[in-house]
Amino acid sequence: MANSDDSSEIAWIRPIKRGILPLENFHIPKSLKKVIRRGIYDIRINYAFEEVISSCAQKTQDRPNTWINPTIQKLYVDLFHMGYAHSIEAWKEKKLVGGLYGISLGAIFFGESMFSRMDNASKICLTHLVEHLKKRQFLLLDTQFITNHLRQFGTIEISHNKYARILQNALKHSEVSFANH
């Protein structure tokens, strides 16, 4: 993580309390279920990864700073080309309107960032991500931190020691693949 988008340094962050989303506890709020049923967005996987990370890095009125600098963007694009980084994208009328990206290793997905240009677009991407992870027998979605946005979906905080045990187990599952077959 960078201190800002113009920072040349990258820092490693290890939260004392880790935010995780146990897939079996995933909760979709009723109001979002109604939006999902309307089928407003076309959801794609790994279609425009570079555009997703670039959109996540953009400053907005609600987010005047970003931790995603050009170095981080390049590294994640490299990880995407190696098959480790992935994106879930919401499209409307051939325009990218929301998305998220992260890293998959073993049976764990590390969510990195999300953005939304239209109501509920990133939330709907999250629901599709969880569905995708469950189908492929992932064990966990690592959110790193807890936000009010993520708390509504069932995100919890655990100690670093408990997280380390879960991570160690999830990384053993090399047979699990994010690939969209």
Mean pLDDT value across residues 110-114: 95
The architecture that CATH gives domain 17-171 is 3-Layer(aba) Sandwich (3.40)
Stretch 103-113: mean pLDDT: 95
Lowest mean pLDDT among 30-34, 82-86, 162-166, 172-176: 172-176
Per-domain residue ranges of the chain: 17-171
Comparing 64-68, 103-107, 131-135, 159-163, the range with the smallest average pLDDT is: 64-68
Look up residue 85 and give its amino acid. Answer: A
Please state, as a whole number, how many other Cβ atoms lie within 10 Å of the Cβ of residue 143. Answer: 24
Distance (Å, whole) CA 68 – CA 153: 24
Residues whose CB falls within 8 Å of the CB of residue 95, separated by 6 or more in sequence, listed in order: none
Using DSSP, state whether 12 is helix, strand or coil: coil
